[in-house]
Amino acid sequence: MRRLFNRWLVLSFVAFAQLCLFPRLSVAQDSGQPTIRFVRNPDPAPDFKLTGLDGKPFTLAGAKGKVILLNFWATWCGPCRAEIPDLVELQNKYKDRLQILSLVVDDDDQDAIKKFVAGSSINYPVAIATDDIRIEYGGIAALPTSFVLDSEGRVVQKHEGLRDPVLYETEIRSLLGLPIGPIRVETFEDTGEVFLKHADRASELPGVDLSKLTPEQKTVALHKFNAETCTCGCTYTLAQCRIYDRGCKVSQTATSKIIAAVSAASSGAAAASPKKQK
């Protein structure tokens, strides 16, 4: 089961990487200014108690008061390996106020992983991610995936795929209160991008065309997306599945049917309404 899950991760990442490889700082449309974004009213990160490959306790609580970069990766993942030198450099540069925590999703034996970690000169704690932890953090649909936590242990951003290290460093410096130059900081409400449990806040979903619905119809459709469970086997709602797996044909078909039904029901109700007498 674990090996099948990892094979699925490879396919998911390949598809995702075609869309998102080395994205840099976004640019605010109104000012043309480089911008970083953090979650407004962020949630506490789910904690865990693991034992690192070094035999020491591996927890979020152990890094209390520091900015944390929680990185999910695998030794067989090329983009994951590519970002390791940058993460090592970040840990060295901000070692007193930053803690990178590395969670491996490999199903290989620990000795092989330990050998890889030692050979890569990784200078931050590494532990094996359990299935429960993956679920707590939304399933981890792509590798690498990194969660950025502020010094209070709250998740303020999530990044999937290989990212420009400039982005990570800028976010870290901002959270530490250090100068970041002429870079704008914006906040956004999490509508499922960071934690799937917040998908019920979303007004738009990947691959779902709501443009032909009235505001009232759109509200009804979104309610149904969040009330009905996808039958692809993911156990998520239709809304969560669209965010979690944009390539899922089951949730895409189901949401399309709901949109058609909502539109048809409203049209039928309008036709059945008696005309006002003049």
Instruction: Please provide residue 151's backbone torsions phi and psi, each rounded to the nearest 5 degrees.
Output: -70, -10
Peptide bond before residue 144 is cis, with ω within 30 degrees of 0: yes
**Angle, alpha carbons 210-211-212 (nearest 5°):** 95
**Taking the CA atoms of the chain, what radius of gyration do you get in angstroms?**
22
pLDDT tens string 29-80: 455 789 999 999 999 999 999 999 999 999 999 999 999 999 999 999 999 9
Domain limits, CATH 3.40.30.10, in the chain: 2-188
Pairing of strands 67-73, 155-160: unpaired
pLDDT tens string 150-193: 999 999 999 999 988 999 999 999 999 999 999 999 999 999 98
Q: Give the whole-angstrom CA distance, residue 176 versus residue 83.
A: 22
User: Following DSSP, what letter does each residue of 118-142 receive, concatenated?
Assistant: HHTT--S-EEEPPHHHHHHTT---S
Please, what CATH class does the domain formed by 2-188 belong to? Answer: alpha beta
pLDDT at 14 over 80: no
pLDDT tens string 187-227: 999 999 899 889 999 999 999 999 999 999 999 999 999 99
